[in-house]
Amino acid sequence: EGDPVARRVSTSPPLSQSQVVEFWAKQRLAMDALKKENNIPKAASLFREAVALNPEHEDSRYYLANCLYAQGDTAGALEQLDALIRINPQSHRGYQRKGLLLAVSAANRAQLVTAGECVRQAQTLNPEETGTLLLLGEIALLKGDTANARRQLELACRTNPKAVGGYFLRGYLAWKSHDLPHARELLLAASNARGKDWKPAGAVAEGDVRARMHTEGSILSSVWDNWNGSTDPEAAYSPADRAIKMRAMQTAP
């Protein structure tokens, strides 16, 4: 899973051979707990032990942040991401995940703007990364900047033809503009991008959304996760509109 132990010039004392062995044992157990067992508390504890052994390992910091967020500790997660960015100022994933968590936890417009600045830094580091484009589109949508939202979402779909969220939210913007044929067309594109094997997720509770956040990079994914696949714009977007408005109200000036 990724970064070597000594990827950059270290400011920490070099590890002994036994510490290196112990570090990798903790790291592998942590990844197994996270990815195979889906045991986030166990993974978080093991990642903490790995970070204590090697404070400059990027993967350990990144996955610990995701585990902490999934458990509701946003402040702790942001602390780990800040440490990751200090270790590697070119960490696209560090800036993107920090921007996501700041956006999700934003309580006013100023905090949402700060989140957007962080995501734009990630975009600067990797302009073609689809998740960053989608996230920028979502932030613009929540801020009421529909022109920028549309532009970012179009870029996301152009970069990744399987960007379900990009098509769905573009259709939402078309529906809000009363362009029902275009909204229906984009819903069909979202359905095609999702594929034949997709099944409706059902209602997604707030805790479930947070628990899945370690694998997703979206603020509004619940609106298309809860979509039943209907290509009727009114049926698809009325519930989505309520959820998006509620989220936008949380960050109103």
The Cα-based distances of 182 to 46, 83, 138, 217, 232 in angstroms read 49, 44, 19, 26, 11
The per-residue pLDDT string of the chain (253 residues; one tens digit each, 9 = 90 and over) reads: 444 443 454 567 888 999 999 999 999 999 999 999 999 999 999 999 999 999 999 999 999 999 999 999 999 999 999 999 999 999 999 999 999 999 999 999 999 999 999 999 999 999 888 999 999 999 999 999 999 999 999 999 999 999 999 999 999 999 999 999 999 999 999 999 998 776 655 544 444 545 554 446 899 999 999 999 999 999 999 999 999 999 999 887 7
> What is the C-alpha to C-alpha distance for residues 229 and 59, in angstroms, rounded to an integer?
36
> What is the C-alpha to C-alpha distance for residues 230 and 119, in angstroms, rounded to an integer?
32
Q: What is the pTM of this model?
A: 0.85
